[in-house]
Amino acid sequence: MKFATAIIVGAGQSGLAMSWHLSTRSIDHVVLERGEVANSWLKERWDSLRLLTPNWQSRLPGYAYSGDDPDGFMTMPEVVRFLHQYASLSRAPIVTGARVTRVRQQEAGYEVETNLGAWRCRKLVIATGACNLASIPQLAAGLPARVASLTPLQYRNPGLLPDGGVMIVGASASGIQLAREIRAAGRRVVLCVGEHVRLPRTYRGRDIQWWMDVIGAMDVRYDTMEEDIERARRLPSLQLIGTPERVTVDLNSLGKAGVELVGRVVGLADGKAQFSGSLANLCALADLKMNRLLSSIDDWVNASGLAQQFPAPHRFEPTDVGSQTRIGLDLNDAGIGSVIWATGYRPDYSWLDVPVLDRKGRIRHDGGIVPAPGIYVMGLPFMRRRKSSFIDGADDDAADLAAHLGHNLNRAAA
């Protein structure tokens, strides 16, 4: 059986950043990757998807975007190339094609079974990502058999969808992007809107990610928040899209484009969907939260004395859902041929045979430190910082956790 002091599972941005930090600490390790580097980015994303963060924000330890379009948004092939280059420049000790099938606790460490044989390690870093599986609500079972049911992990482009209208469930980043492009392809689109986080792509002449970066919003730590961190971690993804035109896609723009906005799906039986009457309130909440963020940006600008450098503050149109929102839809009458469940993602820990999951199947951790000796997790939403699940968040988290890991190794050795 092969041995490494530390095993990192997954060679995406998190695994590669952790590998870099372990290397700088001379901690012997191996990165096990089920497919190839950046596998999820390569195989589990739709064709038109671009990163939601600008190129300049693709920063990893010892490495950053150096092209001539810092304000652009990478396509998926570009993300894959970016991470491949990083893997080769950082000389990460990656074993590709090694799918981990089981991890068990062993004396003073773990046994990691893979299709390429077993490893033993003392420390385990789970860097398999937060989006391995689509979360689909239970009521999906009530969908009529003739209506196709798919998730954003399977969706590629409008042309590959079954004929007919499309009901998209969920209006976070995935849902609004799919609604936009499927509607632009001439399909009827019904978008079911639950809780969402509305953000403009740009504000006062800068990208919203630039603002959140400079005002320190992305660096807010999990252990400095007085409020319940678990709720912050469950916050839906930002309503953003990365396009060369830097467009803002929100419920107003989708409505103008002919996307029908309805409330959260709360019933699905006998070929009929029922929608919650709470749509207006969820939109009001999202508008209020967006304006609170814009106010904090304005406050930062005023406090910095740089107000002259930016266009004047302004506010965006409140979300208009009208007063005639439908609360029911006969899928057959409406010609709905497919439903896309853009209802979020969750990690896959089916291979982890260590009792560290809570009753909802989430991994328990304190800022990435899992309550089992020597296990760490990376890349989860707001894991240590608001940016933890972003490419730009991998460096700081990996640095912290590598320090913790190294400290524990030294203590064990002493």
> Cβ distance 396 to 390 under 8 Å?
no
- The smaller minimum CB distance to another protein, of residues 219 and 353, is found at 219
Least Å distance, CB 136 to another protein, is: 19
- The smaller minimum CB distance to another protein, of residues 188 and 221, is found at 221
- The smaller minimum CB distance to another protein, of residues 235 and 354, is found at 235
- The smaller minimum CB distance to another protein, of residues 169 and 217, is found at 217
Least Å distance, CB 290 to another protein, is: 8
What residues are paired with 190 via a beta bridge? Answer: 167, 260
Q: What would the 3-class secondary structure string for the chain be?
A: CEEEEEEEECCCHHHHHHHHHHHHCCCCEEEECCCCCCHHHHHCCCCCCECCCCHHHCEECCEECCCCCCCCCCEHHHHHHHHHHHHHHCCCCEECCCCEEEEEEECCEEEEEECCEEEEEEEEEECCCCCCEECCCHHHHHCCCCCEEECCCCCCCHHHCCCCEEEEECCCHHHHHHHHHHHHCCCCEEEEECCCEECCCEECCEEHHHHHHHCCHHHCECCCCCCCHHHHHCCCCEECCCCCCCCCCCHHHHHHCCCEEEECEEEEECCEEEECCCHHHHHHHHHHHHHHHHHHHHHHHHHHCCHHHCCCCCCCCCCCCCCCCCCEEECCCCCEEEEEECCCEECCCCCECCCCECCCCCECCECCECCCCCEEECCCCCCCECCCCCHHHHHHHHHHHHHHHHHHHHHHHC
Can you tell me the distance from the alpha carbon of 317 to that of 287, in angstroms, rounded to the nearest whole number?
Answer: 9
- The smaller minimum CB distance to another protein, of residues 66 and 281, is found at 281
Angle at the Cα of 242 from the Cα atoms of 248 and 256, rounded to 5 degrees = 30
- The smaller minimum CB distance to another protein, of residues 228 and 245, is found at 228
If one counts every other C-beta atom within 10 angstroms of the C-beta of residue 44, the result is 18
Least Å distance, CB 143 to another protein, is: 16
Can you tell me the distance from the alpha carbon of 97 to that of 197, in angstroms, rounded to the nearest whole number?
Answer: 37
- The smaller minimum CB distance to another protein, of residues 195 and 353, is found at 195
Tokens of 291: 């304006």
Least Å distance, CB 283 to another protein, is: 9
What residues are paired with 406 via a beta bridge? Answer: none
Please report, as ranges, the residues that interact with another protein according to CB under 8 A.
195, 197, 212, 215-217, 220, 224-228, 231-232, 235, 263, 266-267, 274, 276-278, 281-282, 284-285, 288-293, 295-296, 299, 323, 359
Least Å distance, CB 86 to another protein, is: 28
Can you tell me the distance from the alpha carbon of 79 to that of 390, in angstroms, rounded to the nearest whole number?
Answer: 13
- The smaller minimum CB distance to another protein, of residues 253 and 296, is found at 296
Least Å distance, CB 289 to another protein, is: 5
Least Å distance, CB 293 to another protein, is: 5
Least Å distance, CB 56 to another protein, is: 19
- The smaller minimum CB distance to another protein, of residues 176 and 405, is found at 176
Least Å distance, CB 286 to another protein, is: 9
- The smaller minimum CB distance to another protein, of residues 144 and 267, is found at 267
Q: Residues, the chain, total? A: 414
Least Å distance, CB 310 to another protein, is: 17
Least Å distance, CB 200 to another protein, is: 13
- The smaller minimum CB distance to another protein, of residues 26 and 323, is found at 323
